């Protein structure tokens, strides 16, 4: 499949000018990062997670188990929290990652 040259030029131009428009694309939504420490593997329930963090930005299945993802992603910074639940809706494991300097000690 061949892409017309004018479409390639337009996409390249749009990509190169995006940083200069002041419009930095982002996805996800903020979540209470300081509350990550409240999560206890084997104890915290899915209902408690939703009470603390609200509805997840994304849900899924990993190795047959339900996952909730809370995240903020932009061109320069990102942070996400992925929580895995067991078959009783209790936290099985979780991971938190961030490029925000203020999250370094969490």
**52-88 per-position pLDDT tens digit:** 999 999 999 999 999 999 999 998 899 999 999 999 9
List, for residues 14-54, the tens digit of each pLDDT value: 565 555 445 557 888 899 999 999 999 999 999 999 999 99
Q: Are 62 and 84 in contact (CB under 8 A)?
A: yes
List the domain boundaries for the chain: 25-101
Specify the pLDDT at position 89.
Answer: 97
Q: Tell if the pTM clears 0.85, that is, is over it.
A: no
CATH 2.40.340 fits 25-101, yes or no: no
- Sign of the CA dihedral with 46 first, then 61, 32, and 103 last: positive
Phi, psi dihedral angles at 60 (to 5 degrees): -170, -170
Tokens 């849900």 -> residue: 59
CA gap 97, 12 in Å, rounded:
31
Q: Is 89 left (phi over 0), alpha (psi -120 to 50) or beta?
A: left
């Amino acid at each position: 499949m061949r892409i017309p040259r004018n479409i390639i030029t337009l996409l390249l131009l749009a990509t190169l000018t995006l940083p200069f428009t002041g419009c930095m694309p982002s996805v996800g939504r903020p979540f209470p990062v300081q509350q990550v420490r409240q999560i206890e593997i084997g104890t915290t329930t899915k209902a408690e997670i939703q009470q603390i963090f609200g509805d997840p930005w994304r849900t899924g299945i990993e190795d047959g188990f339900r996952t909730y993802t809370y995240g903020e992603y932009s061109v320069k910074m990102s942070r996400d929290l992925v929580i895995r639940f067991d078959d009783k809706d209790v936290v099985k494991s979780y991971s938190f990652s961030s490029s925000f300097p203020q999250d370094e000690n969490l």
